[in-house]
């Protein structure tokens, strides 16, 4: 048995014996008494946090031309000297932005530790000109201001001599590969450091990363997911899913989406979306591709409406200053949250699990009734917003800011069997970014959980929620891609499976098809489009054919791209490719079934299908 496995087994037995005796080793009685719901309560309520990527940089300099990569990096670490770092200033910026927690990169893939660790000299105190415990100062400032301190920790370590490069999360990135490295020795080091961080700084969360090298099952056992989570819980901390890519949350507490990814609907698990303000995680002076304040706020309300948290990144400069471009945008978000925070903090996901087209809904209980917050990003041009499928009686509707009453009328649509609530809104949006309507409804909010046509006339059918139909029955095949609980790592298997970026893959042979039921409110002429996820740089055309059938009409063709679109729920490198198969006429509103089937095999370019859309032809 390896040294790390001995340590894990012994530690686990000690923990169990301590629990039986009423006191867990290394834990307080209060932390032991916390159940999973209590431990996660702060996370559910927070909604908005700051990610900070900060470390040593390795700029290319002529005098370094004869040095190895390792030598260059070690020089950069020793020159690390953020003379203008002020932990109180960083925390002040986060607090002004309305952020409730900070996740800081204690150790990134490069292995450089930003605290005074007893288990290595490769840290900020022993190696750098700075010689200050950066983590200690930041943790103290966070605790003083009521901001929760949380730690990013990379499982991969490109500098540690015992980190076997075969376990690296990226090929060829290890600084100085040691072919005789013992990964079990590194595991002991990692566990020691995690406990050290817990004891010294009392973090609320660990945000693991870099575990791609442990995806094989036997390697997951070496990682010790259950033992690590038990250790963190004993100190009152929670863990994200990148501890061994645990998307199904078998061991960990919440899901980390892929970088800059937001799910296209509710996914049924607590999650967090980490994103950048431009295209860089660490500071990059050349990167001026900044997202707008409205774009960032629209992401926040989108994520909150799906029950998740938004972890927004800043990359301080070499001297330790958060760039003004970041500060300005964070201040705008903080100003909005100061007025509208009631619609975000402590709320739950809205009662409708699919896309709305205009924004999101969050909710909270109010005695026996429920308050719904309509977070409107796309203000209706005609001043009217229709909410379909809400079963409850509306008791009151008003603008959240200012309290101005909003008239509401309710009708029953016989064609779809749904209530239609129409809000008479001001012609101009009250807020330049996101306007909020506060709606109080009787009882527990109930809304139809079937995809519905939205106010812009579009029907958007998410492939991840389609019913899967294979040419032949596959044993133990799940009915929907979402049922696999795989949201960040591609699921391997036979036939139609969850794919990259919350798509479905494997839909490439005749006889396979997807189906959806949906509600249509307006009869008319619709373009039928298949949306696929593609690399933003690559031209794309598939070689197979698909057919869509709806309301007794069929259209068929190749997936020839008519339009390439950015998708703010995906990294910029991934775009939506829209291919219109044809046009259908739907004569009456009602409930319909749509089928997407393969009619000719895809060989070279099988699609990663994101959705099928019905687009009003006249628009």
Q: What pLDDT score does 59 carry?
A: 56
The secondary structure of residue 79, as a DSSP letter, is T
| DSSP for 81-149, written as a single string | --TT--HHHHHHHHHHTT--EEEEEEE-TT--BSS--TT-S-BHHHHSSS-S-HHHHHHHHHHHHTPEE
Q: In 10 A of CB 562, how many CB atoms?
A: 11
Q: For residue 583, name the pLDDT band (cuts at 50, 70, 90).
A: very high
Residue ending a domain, among 409, 441, 473, is: 441
Q: Would you give the end-to-end CA distance of the chain in angstroms? A: 67
Handedness of CA 396, 434, 49, 156 (dihedral sign): positive
Strand partners, 530: 579, 612
Q: What pLDDT score does 475 carry?
A: 87
Co-location of 504 and 583 in the same domain: yes
Across residues 96-111, what is the average pLDDT?
Answer: 97
Counting residues of the chain whose pLDDT is more than 90, the rounded percentage is 82
CA dihedral 231, 233, 235, 240 (to 10 degrees): 90
599 within domain boundaries: yes
Instruction: Tell me the average pLDDT of the chain.
Output: 91
Co-location of 332 and 368 in the same domain: no
Ramachandran angles phi, psi of 612, nearest 5°: -115, 135
Tokens encoding 482: 């979402």
Helix segments in 210-286, DSSP class H: 217-223, 225-234
Q: What pLDDT score does 57 carry?
A: 77
Q: Determine the structural domain holding residue 559 and report its residue range.
A: 459-616
297 within domain boundaries: yes
- Asked if residues 223 and 155 have their Cβ atoms less than 8 Å apart, the reply is yes
454 within domain boundaries: no
Summarize pLDDT for 215-250 with one digit per residue, the tens. 988 899 999 999 999 999 999 999 999 999 999 999
Co-location of 258 and 355 in the same domain: no
Summarize pLDDT for 374-384 with one digit per residue, the tens. 999 999 988 89
Q: What pLDDT score does 16 carry?
A: 35
CATH number, domain of 322, equals 3.20.20.80
Co-location of 325 and 237 in the same domain: yes
Strand partners, 313: 51
Strand partners, 149: 102
Co-location of 218 and 336 in the same domain: yes
Summarize pLDDT for 532-574 with one digit per residue, the tens. 999 988 888 888 999 999 999 999 999 999 999 999 999 999 9
The CA-based angle 345-350-352, given to 5 degrees, is 165
Residue with tokens 């924004």: 359
Q: For residue 65, name the pLDDT band (cuts at 50, 70, 90).
A: low
In whole angstroms, give the CA distance from residue 507 to residue 546: 10
Co-location of 430 and 368 in the same domain: yes
Co-location of 492 and 565 in the same domain: yes
Across residues 402-416, what is the average pLDDT?
Answer: 95
The predicted model scores a pTM of 0.93
Handedness of CA 319, 328, 92, 113 (dihedral sign): negative
Across residues 473-494, what is the average pLDDT?
Answer: 90
Counting residues of the chain whose pLDDT is more than 70, the rounded percentage is 93
- Asked if residues 255 and 294 have their Cβ atoms less than 8 Å apart, the reply is no
Q: For residue 26, name the pLDDT band (cuts at 50, 70, 90).
A: very low
Q: What pLDDT score does 421 carry?
A: 96
Strand partners, 206: 151, 239
Look at 12 and 347; give whichever has higher pLDDT. 347
Q: For residue 403, name the pLDDT band (cuts at 50, 70, 90).
A: very high
Co-location of 376 and 293 in the same domain: no
| DSSP for 547-585, written as a single string | EEEETTEEEEEEEE-SEEEE-TTS-TTEEEEEEEEEEEE
- Number of domains composing the chain: 3
450 within domain boundaries: no
Residue ending a domain, among 301, 318, 341, is: 341
- Asked if residues 46 and 272 have their Cβ atoms less than 8 Å apart, the reply is no
452 within domain boundaries: no
Handedness of CA 104, 109, 111, 117 (dihedral sign): positive
Co-location of 365 and 473 in the same domain: no
33 within domain boundaries: no
Provide the b/e sequence for 233-251 (b: ≥16 CB within 10 Å): bbbbbbbbbbbbbbbebeb
Q: For residue 72, name the pLDDT band (cuts at 50, 70, 90).
A: confident
Long-range contacts, stretch 558-566, CB < 8 angstroms, 24+ apart: 559/530, 559/532, 559/607, 562/529, 564/534, 564/536, 566/536
Across residues 171-176, what is the average pLDDT?
Answer: 72
Tokens encoding 214: 């442990």
Co-location of 165 and 192 in the same domain: yes
Residue ending a domain, among 307, 324, 341, is: 341
281 within domain boundaries: yes
- Asked if residues 235 and 32 have their Cβ atoms less than 8 Å apart, the reply is no
In whole angstroms, give the CA distance from residue 232 to residue 242: 14
pLDDT at 31 over 80: no
Q: What pLDDT score does 33 carry?
A: 53
Co-location of 418 and 542 in the same domain: no
390 within domain boundaries: yes
Residue with tokens 């749904």: 418
Co-location of 71 and 207 in the same domain: yes
Q: What pLDDT score does 561 carry?
A: 93
């Amino acid at each position: 048995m390896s040294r790390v496995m001995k340590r894990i087994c012994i530690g686990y037995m000690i923990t169990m014996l301590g629990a039986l005796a009423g006191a867990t080793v290394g834990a307080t009685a209060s932390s032991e008494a916390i159940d999973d719901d209590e431990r996660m309560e702060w996370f559910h309520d927070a909604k908005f946090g700051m990610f900070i990527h900060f470390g040593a940089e390795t700029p290319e300099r002529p005098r370094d031309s004869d040095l190895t990569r390792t030598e260059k990096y070690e020089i950069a670490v020793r020159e690390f000297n953020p003379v203008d770092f002020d932990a109180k200033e960083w925390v002040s910026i986060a607090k002004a932005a309305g952020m409730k927690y900070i996740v800081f990169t204690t150790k990134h893939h490069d292995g450089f530790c930003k605290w005074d660790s007893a288990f290595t000299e490769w840290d900020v105190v022993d190696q750098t000109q700075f010689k200050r415990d950066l983590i200690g100062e930041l943790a103290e400032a966070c605790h003083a201001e009521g901001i929760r301190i949380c730690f990013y920790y990379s499982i991969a370590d490109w500098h540690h001599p015992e980190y076997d490069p075969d376990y690296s999360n990226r090929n060829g990135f290890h600084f100085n590969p040691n072919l005789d490295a013992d990964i079990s020795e590194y595991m002991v080091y990692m566990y020691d450091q995690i406990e050290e961080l817990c004891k010294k700084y009392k973090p609320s969360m660990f945000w693991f990363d870099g575990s791609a090298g442990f995806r094989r099952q036997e390697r997951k056992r070496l990682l010790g997911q259950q033992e690590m989570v038990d250790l963190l819980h004993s100190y009152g901390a929670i863990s994200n899913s990148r501890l061994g890519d645990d998307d199904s949350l078998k061991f960990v507490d919440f899901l980390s989406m892929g970088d800059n990814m937001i799910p296209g609907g509710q996914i049924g698990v607590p999650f967090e979306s980490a994103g950048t303000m431009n295209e860089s995680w660490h500071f990059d002076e050349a990167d001026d591709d900044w997202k707008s304040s409205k774009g960032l706020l629209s992401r926040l309300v989108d994520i909150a409406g799906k029950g998740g948290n938004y972890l927004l990144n800043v990359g301080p400069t070499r001297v330790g200053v958060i760039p003004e471009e970041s500060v300005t945008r964070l201040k705008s978000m903080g100003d909005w949250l100061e007025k509208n925070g009631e619609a975000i903090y402590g709320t739950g996901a809205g009662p409708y699990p699919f896309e709305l087209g205009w924004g999101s809904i969050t909710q909270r209980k109010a005695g026996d009734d429920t308050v719904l917050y309509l977070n409107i990003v796309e203000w209706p041009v005609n001043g009217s917003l229709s909410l379909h499928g809400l079963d409850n009686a509306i008791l009151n509707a008003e603008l959240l800011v200012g309290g101005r009453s909003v008239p509401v009328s309710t009708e029953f649509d016989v064609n779809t069997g749904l209530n239609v609530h129409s809000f008479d809104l001001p012609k101009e949006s009250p807020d330049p970014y996101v306007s909020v309507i506060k709606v109080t409804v009787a009882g527990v909010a109930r809304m139809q959980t079937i995809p519905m046509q939205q106010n812009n006339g579009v029907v958007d059918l998410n492939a991840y929620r389609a019913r899967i139909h294979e040419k032949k029955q596959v044993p133990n095949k799940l009915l929907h891609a979402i049922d696999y609980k795989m949201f960040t790592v591609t699921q391997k298997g036979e036939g139609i499976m969850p794919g990259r970026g919350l798509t479905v893959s494997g839909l490439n042979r005749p006889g396979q098809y997807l189906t959806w039921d949906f509600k249509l409110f307006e009869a008319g002429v619709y373009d039928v489009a298949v949306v696929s996820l593609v690399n933003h740089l690559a031209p794309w055309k598939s070689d197979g054919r698909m057919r869509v059938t709806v309301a007794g009409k069929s259209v068929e063709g190749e997936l020839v791209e008519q339009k390439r679109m950015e998708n703010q729920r995906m990294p910029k490198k991934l775009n939506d490719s829209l291919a219109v198969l044809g046009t259908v006429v739907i004569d009456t509103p009602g409930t319909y079934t749509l089928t997407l089937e393969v009619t000719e095999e895809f060989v070279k370019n099988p699609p990663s299908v994101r959705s099928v859309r019905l687009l009003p032809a006249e628009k």
